[in-house]
Amino acid sequence: MANLATVLKSEIARLARKETKTQLDPLRKANAGYRRDIAALKREVAALSKQLKTGLRAPRAERSAVAPGAEGESPRVRFQAKGLKSHREKLGISAAEYGRLAGVSAQSIYNWEAGKTAPRAAQVQALAALRGMGKRAATRQLEDGAGE
C-alpha cells in the first residue's frame, strides 16, 4: 500500500506543478513586460532630469534666449550660441565679418558664441535674418558694404 500512496502522492504533485505552471507562465511574461516598461520609464526620467539639470546650469546664452515679440509681428526666434558659431563657420567668415553683416562688433559675436552674453531682441531678429544666408550672398553683401 505504501507504494500506491507514494505513486499517488508523486502524481498529484506532478499535476499540481503542471497546473501551477500553466497558470503562472502568462503572469511571469506580463511581469517581465512590466519590468521592461518600468526600466524604460526610469531611463527616460533620468534622461529628462539630466537634461533639465544641464539646461539650468548652462550659461545664459547657451540656453535658448527667446526674442519677445508681439503677436502677428514676427515669429518668435530662438538664439543658440553653438548655432551662431556653426553658421559663421559654414559661411567661412571671421567673427568681424559676421559682425559687420549683423551690424554689431566682432567682440559681441565672440561673446555670443562663447555663451558669455546673449543678444538683445533686435539683435536676435538681425541674426535670424542672416540665418538663411548662403556663402555667396554673405560674400556679396560684405563686398557691397566694403565698397560704400
**CA torsion, ordered 92, 95, 96, 100, to nearest 10 deg:** 80
* 133 has a pLDDT exceeding 90: no
Count the domains in the chain: 2
* pLDDT at site 59: 55
Residue burial 20-45, b: 16+ Cβ < 10 Å; e: rest: eeeeeeeeeeeeeeeeeeeeeeeeee
Select from 37, 57, 77 the last residue of a domain.
57
Q: Are residues 81 and 122 in the same domain?
A: yes
Considering only CA atoms, which of 131, 119, 62 is closest in space to residue 90? 131
Q: Are residues 95 and 52 in the same domain?
A: no
* pLDDT at site 80: 87
Highest mean pLDDT among 37-41, 49-53, 77-81, 111-115: 37-41
Average pLDDT, rounded, for the chain: 85
Q: Are residues 89 and 138 in the same domain?
A: yes
Select from 41, 57, 73 the last residue of a domain.
57
Q: Are residues 77 and 136 in the same domain?
A: yes
Give the residue numbers spanning the domain of 6: 1-57
Q: Are residues 20 and 77 in the same domain?
A: no
Q: In this structure, are residues 41 and 33 in contact, taking their beta carbons and an 8 Å threshold?
A: no
Select from 9, 27, 57 the last residue of a domain.
57
Q: Are residues 101 and 135 in the same domain?
A: yes
Q: Are residues 48 and 80 in the same domain?
A: no
* pLDDT at site 62: 47
Q: Are residues 45 and 79 in the same domain?
A: no
* 26 has a pLDDT exceeding 70: yes
Q: Are residues 26 and 95 in the same domain?
A: no
Q: Are residues 96 and 136 in the same domain?
A: yes
Residue with cell 545664459: 60
* pLDDT at site 71: 46
Q: Are residues 79 and 21 in the same domain?
A: no
Provide the 8-state DSSP code for 78: E
> In sequence order, which residues have a C-beta less than 8 Å from that of residue 22 and are 6 or more positions away?
none
